């Protein structure tokens, strides 16, 4: 538990966090009816962008900035047939843990004379016209990846425009492409090229730029380390006023220090004696059993008042 007067509190417990989402779980970026639109990055849940038309981060790190990671020119006469963007610098950033790997936004850069272009999407009937991210890997290998989602963010409609055979960039529209890169060793990528086939260029000429897609839940920098990062093996020394309570289940009884423990709790401390090969991370672990027909396995509480502590404005638990 952490409060304003105590910035962190810790429970070293071998407990399952029931009812909590996995760390890092975020709304999906999809091009289906419930997916991305001008207003929402996940319309099924009413999860809005910071700005209508989508959120992006430029090569300088600025939200809604104008410094593209890569740019390519388009003309109507003669009509541009294919665009190639060198995304090596962007993939390099992704390999360091920055940004959302595989998610990009393409928009028209300032200064052009035309309203942009239509680009073939992953739904194109001709496989050779679909978007592709070409990766060069260490050792001379090459990999071609098609997007798992692509759509146009068009603010004249509330509907998702995914599923169409083209996406549009320019004229107030932005194209979003999401490439599946979870299984790619980004640190081994030596070069990356985005190739797009052009379906139509309206009268004039302009440039399209590639930016990082940056939905509101995405962190703008590397993860911030918390209090526990300062103490290897979670051995918290006495005297740190930011730590209100710790429990490592080494005491006898195990619930010493907890202010309230329901007598119906079905819990015991264990070492490495289990036949299934379980090994506690450090010292003993707390084994909690939910018996068949029961609706309670563990109910242990730490009450600030009962412990003689003032009620904090904020409290955080690490387990």
Q: How far is CA 47 from the centre of its chain?
A: 14
Q: How confident is the model at residue 239 (pLDDT cuts 50, 70, 90)?
A: confident
Under 8 Å between Cβ of 213 and 29: yes
CA angle (277, 282, 284) in 5-degree steps? 70
- What is the 3-state secondary structure of 6-72? CCCCCCCCCCCCCCCCCCCCCCCCCCCCCCCCCCEEEHHHCEECCCCCCCEECCCCCECCCCCCEEE
Confidence class for position 245, pLDDT limits 50, 70, 90? confident
Q: SS3 for 215?
A: coil
The pLDDT tens digits of the residues spanning 133-147 come to 999 999 899 999 999
Please give the structure tokens belonging to residue 65.
């900035």
Question: For residue 240, what pLDDT band results from cuts at 50, 70 and 90?
Answer: confident
Compute CA distances 207 → 85, 93, 107, 113, 171, whole Å. Answer: 12, 23, 9, 9, 12
Tens-place pLDDT, residues 22-70: 344 578 999 999 999 999 999 988 999 999 999 999 999 999 999 999 9
When pLDDT is cut at 50, 70 and 90, the band that residue 173 belongs to is very high
Class of 40-213 in CATH? mainly beta
Task: Please tell me the distance from the alpha carbon of residue 268 to that of residue 251, in angstroms, as a whole number.
Answer: 11
- Cα 176 from Cα 32, distance rounded (Å): 13
**In this structure, what DSSP letter does residue 79 have?**
B
Exposed / middle / buried, residue 221 (Cβ in 10 Å: 0-12, 13-18, 19+)? exposed
Give the pLDDT score at 16. 27
Q: Other C-beta atoms within 10 Å of 214: how many? A: 23
pLDDT at 6: 32
Q: Residue for token digits 């302009």?
A: 206
| pLDDT, average across residues 176-181 | 98
DSSP code string of 188-201: GEEEEEEEEEEEEE
Backbone angles phi, psi at 271, to 5 degrees: -110, -125
Radius of gyration of the chain (CA): 26
Measured CA to CA, the distance from residue 231 to residue 8 in angstroms comes to 13
Domain extent listing, the chain: 1-20+233-319, 40-213
pLDDT at site 220: 58
Supply the pLDDT for residue 3: 39
């Amino acid at each position: 538990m952490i409060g304003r007067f105590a910035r962190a509190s810790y429970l070293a417990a071998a407990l399952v966090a029931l009812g909590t989402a996995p760390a890092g779980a975020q709304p999906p970026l999809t091009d289906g009816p419930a997916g991305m639109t001008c207003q929402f990055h996940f319309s099924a849940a009413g999860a809005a962008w910071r700005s209508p038309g989508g959120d992006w981060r430029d090569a300088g790190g600025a939200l809604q900035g104008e410094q593209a990671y890569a740019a390519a020119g388009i003309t109507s006469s003669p009509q541009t047939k294919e665009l190639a963007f060198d995304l090596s610098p962007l993939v390099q950033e992704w390999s360091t843990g920055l940004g959302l790997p595989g998610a990009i936004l393409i928009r028209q850069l300032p200064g052009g004379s035309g309203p942009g272009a239509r680009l073939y999407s992953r739904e194109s009937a001709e496989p050779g016209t679909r978007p592709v991210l070409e990766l060069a890997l260490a050792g001379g290998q090459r990999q071609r990846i098609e997007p798992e989602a692509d759509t146009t963010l068009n603010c004249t409609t509330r509907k998702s425009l995914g599923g169409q055979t083209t996406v549009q960039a320019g004229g107030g529209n932005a194209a979003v492409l999401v490439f599946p890169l979870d299984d790619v060793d980004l640190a081994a990528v030596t070069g990356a090229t985005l190739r797009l086939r052009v379906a139509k260029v309206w009268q004039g000429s302009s440039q399209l730029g590639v930016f990082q897609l940056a939905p509101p839940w995405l962190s703008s920098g590397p993860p911030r380390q918390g209090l526990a990062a300062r103490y290897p093996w979670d051995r918290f020394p006495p005297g740190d006023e930011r730590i209100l309570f710790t429990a490592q289940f080494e005491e006898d009884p195990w619930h010493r220090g907890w202010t309230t423990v329901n007598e119906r709790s079905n819990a015991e401390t264990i070492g490495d004696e289990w036949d299934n090969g379980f090994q506690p991370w450090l010292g003993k672990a707390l084994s909690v059993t939910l018996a068949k027909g029961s609706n309670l396995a563990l109910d242990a509480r730490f009450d600030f008042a009962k412990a003689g502590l003032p009620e904090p404005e904020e409290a955080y638990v690490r387990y």
